[in-house]
Amino acid sequence: MLEKMDLQDVLIVRNVYEDAEKAKNKKAPLGTDITIENYTNDNISAFDVIDDLDDLAKKDQDTLLSVGVDTSQEDRAGSFVQMDQSNIFTAQLSSDVEVMNTGVALDKYPWVKDYLWNAVKSDQDKYTAEAALREKEEGEYNGYFVRSLPGTKEFFPVQACMFIADKDIMQTAHNVIIAEENSELHLITGCATGDDVSSALHVGVSEIYLKPGAKLTFTMVHNWAEQVEVRPRTGIKQADNTTFINNYI
């Protein structure tokens, strides 16, 4: 098992956190500049893990369905739901894919550290810097890890949801997607806010890796409240003979 402090030592050697510290005030070249301090880290609720997506309130189930996340999990290869900063549900429904929280993946596979802050740099702008520094401060790694196994071709998609339940918070997620050699993977990511959330900030860092001969269909479905600020940061590394299809709704 790779201890979190050991991982942080590795990332410090790579200057990930040092670079992020220097970029705390670095404006992004595109998009309206956001004052991150307007969104709190202090009052983010911790939500309990649930055994079934049907345990969610009916209105939340309807919201998830509106962004392509089916709580019945019919015709799905796996599911992941993060509510604010809490990983509340994970299900692996196919032997061809792996689905888990990024922190869990780091504990299970030491090599995952090599994929962190590789396709996306921690000093890209103030938003990636904030996500990296929060990881260092809290010692926790939010977001999902999805991996298709070599040579597999799973027909049904994995579904992942980033849900904001509390207003005026900053939600961060660090996602790693790996399509192994000669595999085929389909991923639906649905992002949404609760009915009573009028403003919040979402920073989603997604690092995508396609090995030789791999194919990935990546479909994003967003349904944010009008005043929610969203700053996704995605990096993709493709090997030879790969196919990447990106849909955005």
For the segment 193-242, what is each residue's pLDDT rounded down to a tens digit? Answer: 988 888 999 999 999 999 999 999 999 999 998 889 999 999 999 999 99
Residue 145 pLDDT level (bands cut at 50, 70, 90): very high
Q: Are 151 and 183 in contact (CB under 8 A)?
A: yes
pLDDT of residue 137: 83
Residue-level pLDDT at 7: 63
Check: pTM over 0.85? Answer yes or no. Answer: yes
Distance in angstroms (rounded) separating the CA atoms of residues 240 and 64: 35
What pLDDT was estimated at residue 3?
45
Give the C-alpha separation, 86 to 185, whole Å. Answer: 25
Q: What is the pLDDT of residue 139?
A: 78
Q: Cα separation of 205 and 208, whole Å?
A: 10
pLDDT of residue 1: 31
State mean pLDDT over 127-135.
94
User: 25-34, 78-87, 182-191, 192-201: lowest mean pLDDT where?
Assistant: 192-201
The span from the CA of 197 to the CA of 143, in Å, is 21
**Confidence (pLDDT) at 53:** 94
For residue 133, the model assigns a pLDDT of 92
Please list the residues that pair with 189 across neighbouring strands: 160, 220
Candidates 144, 132, 232; CA nearest to 188 is: 144
Average pLDDT taken over every residue of the chain: 91
Residue 104 CA, chain-centre distance (Å), reads: 13
- Residue 216: partners with Cβ closer than 8 Å, 6 or more residues away: 177, 179, 184, 185, 186, 187, 208, 210, 242, 243, 244, 245
DSSP per-residue string spanning 109-146: -GGGGGGTTTSS-TTSSHHHHHHHHHHHHH----SEEE
Find out whether 62 and 54 touch, Cβ atoms under 8 Å.
no
Contact (Cβ atoms closer than 8 angstroms) between residue 23 and residue 124: yes
Whole-angstrom distance, CA of residue 182 vs CA of residue 202: 33
Confidence (pLDDT) at 6: 61
Q: What is the pLDDT of residue 117?
A: 95
**How confident is the model over 1-57, as pLDDT tens digits?**
334 446 666 566 578 999 999 999 999 999 999 999 998 766 677 899 999 999 999
Q: What's the average model confidence in pLDDT over 177-188?
A: 98
Give dist(CA 184, CA 157) in Å, integer: 10
